[in-house]
Structure 1
Amino acid sequence: MSSETVLIENESDFMRSPETVMRLDRMGSSFPTRLSFMRTLIRRMSRENWKFERTRREVDKDGYGLSVYSVTTPNRTYSLVGFTQEIPADMRTDRVIAEVWDATFNLFDGVPTQEDIDYLAQNTPKQEGGRYRPSELALARANKSLRVFKNAVDSLSKGQQPDLDLLTSVGYLMRTSAVYGSGKFGCADRAKIADREECKAPFQIELLTVYLIRWFTIDSVEELAKEKGGKKAVKFDQTTRQFIGVGNATGLGMAPFLLKHPALIHNWVVAKETALARVRSIETPIVGTLEVFLKSLLQVSQHVDEWNVADEVQSARISRLTDEIQALRMWCENESNIYRPYPWNGIYQYVEDNFSLECQEMIVSLIIEPHGTLVDDLADTMSSTVIPKFQADMTLSHLKEVVADAYKWATTIDFSLEESQHHFWYYSEDKLEPRFGSKGVDDGVDQEMPLAIGRDVHDLNEVLQGIDDDMSIGEFAMMHPQFRHIIRRVQNTFERPYSEVQDNLLSESMRPLDLLRFKLAFFGASKFDPKSDLWTRISMYQGAPMPDQLSEPNHDCWSFPIAGKPQSYPCINCTCRKTV
C-alpha cells in the first residue's frame, strides 16, 4: 500500500448491510470482481508457473476421437480427457434432457494410463449414465456454437481470421451444459481434494476443467482448419484467441446451492463487501488508481456495447446501463467531484444515489479492480468447512431477538396470500435436478425441498410469540420438532449475517435467474444472456490469458474484455501499465 494512502481506522463504517446486499434485485445485478474464482485461479496458475501440455490427440479428419490436455502444478498433475463425436441435428440441445453431446470430458486426477482411457471411453460419453471412480474429479459436456465454430474453421482454413462481429455476438466456440464435481455420479468426493492448496478456494477444480475445455475448443478449431486448408490455414491471432471464452448454459441446478451452504455464502459476500469497504475507506488514493478507474469507464462502455441479448428485461437494463456509464463519465470530468478526500466513497455514493442497481454493482467491480495489493488477500477467506449445528444452549429470548432483528423481512410477509406461496422447489424424478413449480399447475408439491426459508421463519415466529422466554430451546424443539431445521438456520444467520437471501423465494414475482447470476458472478462469469426466468447463457474466461500467456506481466488484466483489441484493461497491479 502506498505511504500516501490513509485508511479510516474502522473500515466497517463503509460496509454495506446484509439488508442492502442480500436482496434478490441487487443479487440479480451482480458482476464479477477481481476476487471471483476464475481470477483467483488464473493468478495462482501464473504465480506457481503451472505447466500445460496437450499429451494426446487421436482424432479423425472431422475431429472426432480422443484428446488429453494436462496441467502440472507444483505438487501434482491433472488431465482433461475429452471425447468428441458426431451427433444428429435433431438430438442437439443444451437442456438437461440431452443424451448426446459434441464433446464430453472428465478431469482425471493424475496422468491416465491406457487402461484409464479405455475405461473413460466407455463411460464419459454417457455422462450421467456412466460409472465413475475417485480418480475422476469432474464430469462435463459441451456443444458447439455451430455458426461461430463453422465460420472459424472455414475462415482459418482460407488463411483469414473469423468474422469478428459474429464471434463477438456469441463470444465462444463451444458452451458447456454441465460441469459436475464433488462426488456427483461417483466422481471423487470433495474431501479427497479439500486439503490441496490449489483446491481450497471454491470451485477451483470445476473452473480448471472449464479453462482446459476452453483451450481444447480453440485448439480443435485450429486443427480442423489445418486439416481442411493445409498450408493455407492459419491460427487465431493472439488478440482473437484471448477474446474467445467458453459458453455455459446454466439453469436451476445451481440455485439451491446458495441456500444449502449459508456459511460459505456468508464468506463470499463478506470478502467482496470488505474489499469494497477497504477501498471506500481510503482517504488519499493510491497513486494512479483514479486514472485507472477513469480509463476503465471507457473500456467498460465498449464492453457493454458488445453485450447484446434478446431478453427484453435485460436488454432494457443494458440500455440504461450504457446511458448511466456515460453520465458518470461526464460527472467525473469535473475534477472536484473525484479529486477530494475519500474519492472512492464519493464515487460510490454518487452512483448509489443516482443510478440503477446494475450500474451500482458494475461500479463496485471497477473501483475494487485497481486495488489488488489492498484486497487480494481476501480471496483466501472465501472457503468454509463449517457445518451449522443446532445450539441447544441458546436462550429462547435470544432466539426471538435474532428472528425479530435478522428476519424482519420474513415475519412481515403475509403468507396467507396466494401470491406469497405461488411457487415451490422440488426435485425432478427423471434427472434428479431441482425444479421450480407453481402450485395448482405443477405436480410435486408433496416432494417440496426445504427451501422455503421465509415461510418457515414466519411460522416459527408465530409460535414463538406464545412461548415464555424461560423455556429452553431444547424443550421447545422437542415440543415443535418441525422447527428444528429452521432454528439451526436462524442460529447460523446470527453468527453469519450475510448468509441469508432476504426475500421470499416462493413469491409469484420471484425470479430464480437472480440467484443464478449472483452465484455465477462470484465464479467470474460475464455477458449474462437470460433465456427465461429459469436459465441463462454466460461466457466464462472471455479475455483470460491462454496457457502460453500466463507468464506475461498483464496476465491478471482481463476484466470486461472487448473484441478486436489486445486485452488492455488499465492496471496498476502489475508491470504492464497498459492503457485503453
Structure 2
Amino acid sequence: MSCAPQNPMPQAAAYRRSPDEVMRLSRMGCAHPTRLSFLRQMLRRLRREGWRFDRPVWDFDARGVGRAVYRAIGPERIYSLVAFGHDLPDEMRSDRVIATAWDATFTLFDGTPTHHDLDRLAANVPLQEAGRISPRELSLSRANKSVRLFKHVVERLAQGQQPDAGALAETGYLMRTTAVYGSGKFGAADREVVAARPEMRAPFQAEMLSVWLTRAFTVDLVEHLARVRGGEAAVRLDPALKRGLGVGNSTGLGMAPFLVRHPVLLNNWMMAREEALARVRAQAGAAPGAIKGFCTALAEARRNAAEWHSAHPVQKDKLEDLRIGLDVAASYVERQWDSAGAHPWDALWRWVQTYLPVEAQEALLAAMIEPHGDLVDGLSACMDADEEASLPIDGTMCVAALRKLLASNYHWALAQAYDTPEGAARFWYVSEEKLEPRLGERATEDGAEKELPLDIGRQAAALDAALDGVNGDMPVARFLLAHPEHRHVLRRVQIAARHPFSEIRDNLIGAELLPIDMLRCKLAFFGATRFDPRSDRWVRISLFQGAPYPSDLAREAPQ
C-alpha cells in the first residue's frame, strides 16, 4: 500500500483477494458500506477530537424561507454550513441536473461567516451553477423535499402527534440532495487548499460534513414549520424516529468517470478494504467480543435488507439475493460455523464465497470487518492519494517489459472485440448544456467524435497492437516519440503495475455496461445505503441513516 498503516499484518497478504475478482463491475456494483466508509471516518474523528456544534443563525419565516448557520468547532478550525430555504413552486421541483431552483441550497464555509459573507452567499448560493462562490467555500449543494413525507411530518408534529413510523422508514429522509459540489467547482476552494488539514485528509470529508449538517437542518426546518402551524400544541420529532432519517441523494452519470480518472485513488480505496478483509481472515482465532459484534452486524444487515426496497428490476433481483443469502448465512453462523476452530474467520469467508451470491458476499464482508476496529481503522490513513507522484512515465522501461505488464494486468482488455457493435456500443462525452458526463449510443446518437478517453480497455488493446513487432529492447520513450497517441494508456499501464486495484477490469464502452455499478461502488465508499436505481444511469441513496446528530455526538462513540 502507499502508506504505513497502523497494526501492520504482513501475513494478511496471503488472504487478499485478487484484482481479477474484485475489480469486475458485477462485484463492484454489489458493494456495501463498511466502517472504512468516508462518513464513518469523519464521525469517528469528530467524536475522538471533541468537536462542538452550534447554530448561531436561524432566521426563517412561516414559509420556510430564510437562512441558517451550523458550526462545527474543532481543535484548530471552524467550518460552517450556511443553509438557505426557498419557497419553491411544485412545478419547478426537479432532481435533474438541469434544474434551476431548489427547496434549499447550501455551502460549507471555511470559518465563521460574517454578515457580509452571508449577504454575498445569499446572492450566489441559491443560484448554484449560475452563481459564483469564493475559495472561502469548500462545497456547494442543493436539496429538494420528499414532498409527501415532509408535509406529513409537519402536519403530525403541528397536531402534537408523531408521524407514521412506517412512512418514515419507507422513504428514510425528509430531503434529498441533487448535487454536492466541491474541489474547485464554481469558485470553491481547490482540494489542495485543505488536503493537508488532518480533518480533511481523507477523501470527501468536506462533502460528508456538509451533508451531515444538512441532515440536522432538515429536521430543524420541519420542526420549525410545525411550530409555526401548531403553536404550543406542536411537538418535536421523537428521537428514535429522527435517528432513522438520513439525507437522500439523487446521483447520475456525472459521478461515474471519477473512478476511471483517479486510478491511484481508486486503488487505495479498494486496497484498504481488501486489506481489512484479509487482516480479519488472517487471525488465528475469533475473540468473543468480535463474534458478538459480527452477529450484531449480521442482524443489522438482515434488518436493513428487509426494509430496503427498489422497483428497478436489476436491484430487485439483487435484493432477493441479499435477503436469501443473509438468511442462509445467519443459519450457518448459528448452527455450523466453528468459531473456536483454527482461522475461523477465513473458514467463514471461504464458505461465504462458495455458497452465497455476490450481493450477499459483499454484505458479509462489511459485517466481518465491523467488529474489528482496532485491527482495520488505521487503514483509513491509506485512502487518500498523491496522484501527481504517479504521473511521470518511466521512459527507460523496455518494450518487452511493457508487453509483459499488458499481458498480466490487462488480459481482460486484450480479450475484448472492440471492432464489433457490441464491443464499442457506447461512448462517453460531456454535455454542452451542463458540462456533465453523459453516455451515448454509438449506433444511434451523434457526438462520438467528441468521445472522452474513458475507453481504457480499448486503448490498452490498441497499445498492445501497436507494440506488435517492435524490438523488445527499445525504450518506451523512443516508442512514444513515434506513437505519442499511446502516452495516456502507457502511463496507466505503469501505474497499474504499482497499484493493482487501479483499473476497472471491464469494457466501459460495451453494450453490457451498467453505469449504476460504477455509481454504487463509489457511493458505498461514501457510506451510502438503500441504493435504489431509477435506470441504469442514475440512482437514489441515503446517507447518515442511523447515525448520531451533532447534538448526540458527545454522548456516544460512533463505530
Equivalent residue, structure 2, for 1:308:
309
How far apart are residue 330 of structure 1 and its match?
Answer: 1.5
Query: Aligned to 2:123, what secondary structure does the other structure show?
Result: helix
Aligned residue type for 1:94: D
Equivalent residue, structure 1, for 2:4:
none
Q: How do 1:351-500 and structure 2 match up within 5 A?
A: 351-387=352-388, 388-500=391-503
Q: How do 1:4-23 and structure 2 match up within 5 A?
A: 10-23=11-24
Aligned residue type for 1:418: P
Pick from 530, 540, 558 the counterpart of residue 556 of structure 1.
Answer: 558
Equivalent residue, structure 1, for 2:206:
205
TM-score, with normalisation over the residues of structure 1? 0.93
Aligned residue type for 1:155: R
Are 1:225 and 2:238 counterparts? no
Residues in 2 aligned to 1:52 and 1:469: alpha-carbon distance in whole angstroms:
62
Q: Indicate conservation of the 8 Å contact 1:394/1:473, yes or no.
A: yes
Query: Aligned to 2:142, what secondary structure does the other structure show?
Result: strand
Are 1:39 and 2:40 counterparts? yes
Moved over 6 A (4+): none
Residues in 1 aligned to 2:10 and 2:399: alpha-carbon distance in whole angstroms:
36
How far apart are residue 8 of structure 1 and its match?
Answer: 7.9
Equivalent residue, structure 1, for 2:74:
73
Deviations 1:59-101 (A, max 9, x none): 1111111111111111111111111111121111000010000
Q: Indicate conservation of the 8 Å contact 2:298/2:364, yes or no.
A: no
How far apart are residue 134 of structure 1 and its match?
Answer: 0.7
Aligned residue type for 2:489: I
Q: Indicate conservation of the 8 Å contact 1:194/1:200, yes or no.
A: yes
How far apart are residue 7 of structure 1 and its match?
Answer: 11
How far apart are residue 9 of structure 1 and its match?
Answer: 5.7
Residues in 2 aligned to 1:236 and 1:397: alpha-carbon distance in whole angstroms:
67
Q: Indicate conservation of the 8 Å contact 1:8/1:283, yes or no.
A: no
Equivalent residue, structure 2, for 1:576:
none
Pick from 509, 513, 527 the counterpart of residue 510 of structure 1.
Answer: 513
Higher mean displacement: 366-375 or 380-389: 380-389
Residues in 1 aligned to 2:526 and 2:213: alpha-carbon distance in whole angstroms:
16
Q: Indicate conservation of the 8 Å contact 1:7/1:281, yes or no.
A: no
In structure 2, relative to structure 1, the CA distance for the partners of 1:7 and 1:283 (3 Å cut) is: farther
In structure 2, relative to structure 1, the CA distance for the partners of 1:334 and 1:112 (3 Å cut) is: same
Q: Indicate conservation of the 8 Å contact 1:331/1:337, yes or no.
A: no
Are 1:544 and 2:554 counterparts? no
Residues in 1 aligned to 2:484 and 2:255: alpha-carbon distance in whole angstroms:
29
Are 1:149 and 2:150 counterparts? yes
Equivalent residue, structure 2, for 1:270:
271
Residues in 1 aligned to 2:408 and 2:33: alpha-carbon distance in whole angstroms:
30
Query: Aligned to 1:509, what secondary structure does the other structure show?
Result: coil
Aligned residue type for 1:39: R
How far apart are residue 168 of structure 1 and its match?
Answer: 0.8
Residues in 1 aligned to 2:296 and 2:213: alpha-carbon distance in whole angstroms:
32
Equivalent residue, structure 1, for 2:532:
529
Query: Aligned to 1:450, what secondary structure does the other structure show?
Result: coil
Deviations 1:273-302 (A, max 9, x none): 000000001111123211222233222212
Equivalent residue, structure 1, for 2:173:
172
Aligned residue type for 1:420: G
Aligned residue type for 2:134: R
Percentage of pairs with the same residue: 46
How far apart are residue 323 of structure 1 and its match?
Answer: 1.4
Equivalent residue, structure 2, for 1:120:
121
Gaps spanning 5+ residues in structure 2: where?
A: 1-6
| CA RMSD between the two structures | 1.3
Aligned residue type for 1:471: M
Equivalent residue, structure 1, for 2:161:
160
Residues in 2 aligned to 1:437 and 1:43: alpha-carbon distance in whole angstroms:
41
Q: Indicate conservation of the 8 Å contact 2:104/2:142, yes or no.
A: yes
Q: Indicate conservation of the 8 Å contact 1:7/1:282, yes or no.
A: no
Equivalent residue, structure 2, for 1:241:
242
Are 1:501 and 2:500 counterparts? no
Q: Indicate conservation of the 8 Å contact 2:397/2:476, yes or no.
A: yes
Deviations 1:232-278 (A, max 9, x none): 11111211111110000001111111111111111111110000000
Residues in 2 aligned to 1:433 and 1:452: alpha-carbon distance in whole angstroms:
17
Residues in 1 aligned to 2:218 and 2:9: alpha-carbon distance in whole angstroms:
48
Q: Indicate conservation of the 8 Å contact 1:7/1:283, yes or no.
A: no
Equivalent residue, structure 1, for 2:258:
257
Higher mean displacement: 270-279 or 77-86: 77-86
Residues in 2 aligned to 1:145 and 1:7: alpha-carbon distance in whole angstroms:
45
How far apart are residue 171 of structure 1 and its match?
Answer: 0.3
Equivalent residue, structure 2, for 1:331:
332
How far apart are residue 431 of structure 1 and its match?
Answer: 0.3
Are 1:140 and 2:141 counterparts? yes
How far apart are residue 317 of structure 1 and its match?
Answer: 1.4
Query: Aligned to 2:445, what secondary structure does the other structure show?
Result: coil
Residues in 1 aligned to 2:446 and 2:66: alpha-carbon distance in whole angstroms:
42
Residues in 1 aligned to 2:334 and 2:212: alpha-carbon distance in whole angstroms:
39
Aligned residue type for 1:159: G
Higher mean displacement: 330-339 or 107-116: 330-339
Deviations 1:296-354 (A, max 9, x none): 32222121110011112211211221111111122122245433111111111111111
Query: Aligned to 2:480, what secondary structure does the other structure show?
Result: helix
Gaps spanning 5+ residues in structure 1: where?
A: 1-5, 558-580
Q: How do 1:88-103 and structure 2 match up within 5 A?
A: 88-103=89-104
In structure 2, relative to structure 1, the CA distance for the partners of 1:183 and 1:472 (3 Å cut) is: same
Q: Indicate conservation of the 8 Å contact 2:337/2:348, yes or no.
A: no
Residues in 1 aligned to 2:164 and 2:128: alpha-carbon distance in whole angstroms:
33
Aligned residue type for 1:199: M
How far apart are residue 427 of structure 1 and its match?
Answer: 0.1
How far apart are residue 156 of structure 1 and its match?
Answer: 1.0
Residues in 1 aligned to 2:545 and 2:189: alpha-carbon distance in whole angstroms:
28
Aligned residue type for 2:202: A
Residues in 2 aligned to 1:253 and 1:402: alpha-carbon distance in whole angstroms:
31
Q: Indicate conservation of the 8 Å contact 2:64/2:225, yes or no.
A: yes
Q: Indicate conservation of the 8 Å contact 1:141/1:178, yes or no.
A: yes
Deviations 1:4-61 (A, max 9, x none): xx99862111000011100000000000000000000000110111111111111111
In structure 2, relative to structure 1, the CA distance for the partners of 1:463 and 1:319 (3 Å cut) is: same
